[in-house]
């Protein structure tokens, strides 16, 4: 026993193996293996009776790639996710900046107040949001009755509703990494800049903004990835024009129950997201994902 411990203590390789084996084995079985199966389906290597066949084919990929509809929906998802990210950044950055730089006394309180709404179940939040966006909502009633607007604002079942709810649901994912990043900034740098005569706008553009890039990038990924694959929100608040990639994947897997095509679609989607992240990691380093 003692000698074994000593051996482990001395040998880094053994230590690393012991540390990594349990989590990696778990992930291998319950995360990577399922994707291998999806991969096998996508290459037509599993038949309807769930037997593995060794006759790979690319038919399902070529089918998916030839869909005219899929490309349009894919672009739409990118557009929705892009707008969502942009809005989250535009809304989230000033808030993170304000809390980090301007709030002196109750910083924690602000952050906690910011997080609390996100403790409500995401579904309940979304349903509550839907009740506000509704044509007959209390807000519309009030706005109409005080004469601010002539007729109720119609948002439900439009692009705007999908984006608004996504912004609402994912805003926290943008603000928290941004705030963490701004907090870590060396504020003496900013002071130095202003002592050297840079005006606030210049200081912000030349010092603060570049230094907060990792936070922005982290927020970007954390908002962009779930938004681009979102399918519950368009399902709940979207209209006929709000189908997204997540909805196609669902429709092919669950509605059409064609696992082969659905798998090919999933694999292509994952490949796209992965390549996006690889580009990102190359640029900022993995540490950029730290929350």
Partner 1 sequence: MKIMSSFLKIFTIMVFLFLYSPIIVMIIFSFNESKSLGVFTNFSLKWYEKVVTNPEVWRALYNSFWVGAVVTFVSIVLGLMMAMAVTRYSFSGKSILESLILIPIIIPEIAEALSLMIMYIFLNIPLGPVTVIIGHIAFSISYVTVVMRARMAGYDKSIEEAARTLGANELQTFFRITLPTLYPAILAAGLLAFTLSFDDLIKTLFTTGPGFKTLPLVIWSSAARGGVSPELNSLSSFALSISFIFALFRLRTERSVGR
Partner 2 sequence: MMVNRRDVLKVAVTGVLGLAVGGAGGYFSRQAEIESLKKEIEELSKQVSMPTVKLEPNLNIYNWTYYINRNIVDWWAKENNVQIVYDTFESIDELVAKLQTGTSGYDLAVVSDSPLQELANLGVLEPIDLKKIPNFKYIPDRFKNPYYDPGNKYSVIYSYGTTGLGWNSEEVSPEVTAWADVFEVDRHLGKYKGKITMHTDTIETFGAALIYLGRDPNSTKDEDLRDAVDLLKKQKPYLAGYASTEEYMEGLEARRFLISHAYNGDIAGIIYASDEREITITKQLEYISYTVPEEGALAWADNFVIPKGAKNIEAAHTFINFIIDPIVSAICTITVKYPFPSGRDYVPEEIRNDPVIFTPDELLDKLHWTRPFTPEERAKRAEYWLELMAA
Task: Identify which of residues 204 and 250 has a Cβ nearer to partner 2 in the complex.
Answer: 250
Question: Which residues contact partner 2 by CB under 8 A?
Answer: 48, 63, 67-73, 76, 134-136, 156-157, 238-241, 243, 247-248, 250-252, 254-261
Does residue number 136 form part of the binding site for partner 1 (CB under 8 A)?
yes
Task: Cite the DSSP H helix spans in the chain.
Answer: 2-10, 12-27, 33-42, 59-66, 68-97, 107-115, 122-133, 138-145, 159-184, 187-195, 200-203, 209-211, 213-228, 232-237, 245-250, 259-284
User: Which residues, numbered 202-261, are part of the site for partner 1 (CB under 8 A)?
Assistant: 221, 225-226, 228-229, 231-232, 245-246, 249-250, 253-254, 259
- Taking the complex as a whole, how short is the minimal distance between the CB of residue 62 and partner 2, in angstroms? 13
Residues whose CB falls within 8 Å of the CB of residue 49, separated by 6 or more in sequence, listed in order: none
- Taking the complex as a whole, how short is the minimal distance between the CB of residue 46 and partner 2, in angstroms? 12
DSSP one-letter string for 126-175: HHHHHHHHSTT-HHHHHHHHTTS-SS----TTSHHHHHHHHHHHHHHHHH
User: Which residues, numbered 65-84, are part of the site for partner 1 (CB under 8 A)?
Assistant: none
Q: State the sign of the Cα–Cα–Cα–Cα dihedral 117, 277, 42, 52.
A: negative
Contacts with partner 1, 162-201, as mask; x by CB under 8 A: ------x--x----------------------------x-
CA distance 291 to 284: 14
Residue 257, contacted partner among partner 2, partner 1, none, CB below 5-8 A by kind: partner 2
3-state secondary structure of 52: strand
Among 58, 65, 71, 120, binds partner 1 (CB under 8 A): 120
- Taking the complex as a whole, how short is the minimal distance between the CB of residue 202 and partner 2, in angstroms? 46
Residues whose CB falls within 8 Å of the CB of residue 1, separated by 6 or more in sequence, listed in order: none
Task: Identify which of residues 164 and 218 has a Cβ nearer to partner 2 in the complex.
Answer: 164
Task: Identify which of residues 29 and 58 has a Cβ nearer to partner 1 in the complex.
Answer: 29
Residue 210, contacted partner among partner 1, partner 2, none, CB below 5-8 A by kind: none
Among 123, 192, 205, 256, binds partner 1 (CB under 8 A): 123
CA distance 148 to 106: 35
């Amino acid at each position: 026993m003692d000698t074994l411990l000593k051996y482990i203590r001395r040998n880094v390789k053994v230590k690393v193996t012991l540390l990594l084996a349990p989590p990696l084995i778990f992930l291998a079985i319950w995360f990577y293996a399922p994707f291998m199966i999806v991969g096998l389906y996508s290459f037509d290597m599993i038949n309807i009776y769930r037997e593995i066949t060794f006759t790979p084919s690319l038919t399902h990929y070529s089918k998916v790639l030839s869909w005219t509809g899929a490309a349009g929906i894919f672009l739409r998802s990118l557009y929705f996710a892009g707008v969502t990210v942009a809005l989250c950044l535009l809304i989230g950055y000033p808030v993170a900046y304000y809390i980090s730089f301007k709030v002196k006394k109750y910083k924690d309180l602000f952050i906690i107040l910011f997080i609390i709404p996100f403790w409500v179940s995401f579904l309940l939040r979304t349903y509550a949001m839907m009740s506000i966006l509704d044509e007959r909502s209390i807000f519309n009633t009030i706005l109409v009755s005080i004469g601010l607007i002539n007729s109720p604002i119609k948002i439900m079942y439009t692009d705007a509703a999908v984006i608004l709810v996504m912004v609402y649901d994912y805003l926290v994912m943008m603000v928290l990494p941004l705030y963490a990043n701004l907090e870590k900034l060396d504020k003496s740098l900013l002071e130095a800049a202003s002592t050297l005569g840079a005006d606030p706008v210049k200081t912000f553009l030349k010092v603060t903004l570049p230094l907060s890039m990792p936070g922005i990038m982290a927020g970007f990924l954390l908002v962009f990835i779930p938004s681009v694959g979102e399918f519950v929100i368009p399902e709940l608040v979207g209209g006929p024009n709000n189908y997204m990639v997540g909805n196609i994947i669902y429709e092919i897997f669950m509605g059409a129950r064609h696992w082969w095509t659905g798998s090919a679609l999933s694999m292509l989607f994952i490949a796209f997201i992965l390549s996006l992240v690889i580009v990102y990691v190359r640029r900022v380093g993995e540490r950029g994902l730290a929350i």
